[in-house]
Amino acid sequence: MKVVRWGIIGCGDVTEVKSGPGFQKARGSSLVAVMRRDRAKAEDYARRHDVPRVHATAGDLIEDPDVDAVYIATPPASHADLACRAAEARKPCLVEKPMAASLADCTRMLEAFRRVSVPLWVAYYRRALPRFLLVRELLQSGSLGTVTSVHVELRQPLARGEAARVWRFNRALAGGGLFYDMGSHTVDLLDFLFGPVEHVSGLSVNTGGTYEVEDVTAATFRLGGGGLATGLWNFNAGAASDALVVTTTLGEVRTTVFGDADVVVTRDGAADVHAVRNPPHVHQPLIQTIVDELAGRGACESTGASGARASRILEMCTSPQWPSARVPDPP
């Protein structure tokens, strides 16, 4: 197809700057339709983003003959049903992260798209951001030796009051708490930078009591390349922090996961600073890889299979039945 015509189901906050404009600005891409349960908000979105059509239901958008591909930006619990409807319509689909509220739903999605040989992607957009492509290039070049350990850490103050009553803290809608919503990005980055995780041991607790789901998660990982990783996601902290630190036999690579920070490479006591900034619309590079794949000139690395691997680890870190286990093969 010369131009991929996209439709968005759930044109909420994440689509305002991060993703929505990227569908218009990527080469060979156009945003032609949106849908939201609140039609007035959908119409307002369409006016502001120059989108020609608003649909009343998700089904109407999926069945629109002028929509070639579907982006699902609703809470995770709805991803599986909506994505499977897109698969039935034989339309390629990009779903927000985490891929679904449960691994069982991820498996159902994978099977639906495999049956019809239609691609499914997950919006782990850091896989296409220049900063993390640089980190992967540096590590794979061999100039820093072998990766021996990795540490990822994210700390934020506890959500209280109205802020603690949004869907992200509702297990039925989100699958888990901010570890599912934000920590999923760091789990996926471990897969992207170092290969599929081979073993995980994780524990999650609720320390603040302002919502039902976990607010602190800690985990250790055996990486695909043989090194070890540790992760701490503390959403009941007195101060915020955000770090990704890779230790190698010859040095260290340090950056952030969520901030727009430099990549600092240290070797032999000297620091080399790479000032790599995020683009204005952080989803756009990932969208471009999807459009290129549909045009037959590339491939997107954030697939349904990789998204399911991330969801498997999220579930293993928050479920008491798997306090420590080898990570099974992808479904």
166, 314: one domain? yes
170, 275: one domain? yes
Considering the domain boundaries, does residue 331 fall inside one?
A: no
277, 322: one domain? yes
Domain carrying residue 202 = 127-282+310-326
318, 200: one domain? yes
141, 118: one domain? no
CATH of the domain at 190: 3.30.360.10
Q: What residue ranges in the chain does DSSP mark as E strands?
A: 4-9, 29-35, 53-55, 69-72, 93-95, 120-122, 147-155, 199-205, 216-222, 228-234, 241-248, 251-255, 263-267, 270-274, 324-326
Residue 232: how many CB atoms within 10 A of its CB? 18
Give the predicted TM-score (pTM) of the model: 0.95
86, 161: one domain? no
DSSP assignment string, 95-137: EPSSS-SSHHHHHHHHHHHHHHT--EEE--GGGGSHHHHHHHH
Tell me the pLDDT of the chain (331 aa) as tens digits: 689 999 999 999 999 999 999 999 999 999 999 999 999 999 999 999 999 999 999 999 999 999 999 999 999 999 999 999 999 999 999 999 999 999 999 999 999 999 999 999 999 999 999 999 999 999 999 999 999 999 999 999 999 999 999 999 999 999 999 999 999 999 999 999 999 999 999 999 999 999 999 999 999 999 988 899 999 999 999 999 999 999 999 999 999 999 999 999 999 999 999 999 999 999 999 999 999 999 999 999 999 999 999 999 999 999 866 555 566 665 5
C-alpha distances (whole Å) from 294 to each of 128, 232, 289 are 16, 37, 9
Domain count, the chain: 2
Write down the number of H helices and E strands in the chain.
Answer: 11, 15
Q: Is 1 helix (H, G, I), strand (E, B) or coil?
A: coil
Considering the domain boundaries, does residue 212 fall inside one?
A: yes
